[in-house]
Structure 1
Amino acid sequence: MISFILSLSILLWNKEPKGFSQIDPCEIYGKVYIEPNPRYAHFKVYEDESEAFADIIIFEEENSLYADQVGHWSFVDDRDFADVYIYFEKDRSLADFSVYYTDYESFAGCNR
């Protein structure tokens, strides 16, 4: 009985979603929430200054309905409405992948 309660408490304590770290960053699109705590983020992202070195080129959509392709992200203010939670990492070596923002919709997508 004690081991059951201990196992259940460990499962409930760990709020990080399972399986997100295995998703290819090139498959991410939709509504994105900027998580202030890296422990609760699905991905740690580094914002690159160069398009050539970024893993994904991002076009920020104003309307979340248009964020339906790879590289098209719509940022939301409410965590509950997001598809993905990201944390902006300041150190590139600690990030899962890097992004670069473009002003042109046609340039958005995977850069790997």
Structure 2
Amino acid sequence: MQHAPIVAAHWVYLLGVAVIVLTMIWRANVVVPSVIATLLVALAWTHSPVAALASVFNASFTAAKELFNIFLVIALMTALLNALKALRSDIRMVEPFRAVMKTGHTAYFVLAAITYVI
């Protein structure tokens, strides 16, 4: 079985990951190091500045395409939750179980059991 050689793009990728991890440890913004690392990895892989620049835009497009569905679900759930709060339905749904929910622990387990049954 043949082994794939480790080329410069692999080392640039590893360096980019290390820089991003260090940036997170320093609690700084990781967007700029991520974009630069993407650009450098693509440049090391393709040896073409134009293709490297295009890869940054393609990476952003791919990430946006994959994450859009998640953002849409979060937005819809937030809107539905706010609609329930406006109608005070969140309080009305829990009202029958108030007698059982005296402490935080019992409230947690009662709500978990009710959610499981539903």
Is TM-score (shorter-chain normalized) higher than 0.5?
A: no
Instruction: State the structure with more CA Rg.
Output: 2
- TM-score bracket relative to the smaller structure: under 0.3
TM-score in terms of structure 1 length: 0.23
TM-score in terms of structure 2 length: 0.22
Q: Between Structure 1 and Structure 2, which shows a larger proportion of helix residues?
A: 2
Q: Between Structure 1 and Structure 2, which shows a larger proportion of strand residues?
A: 1
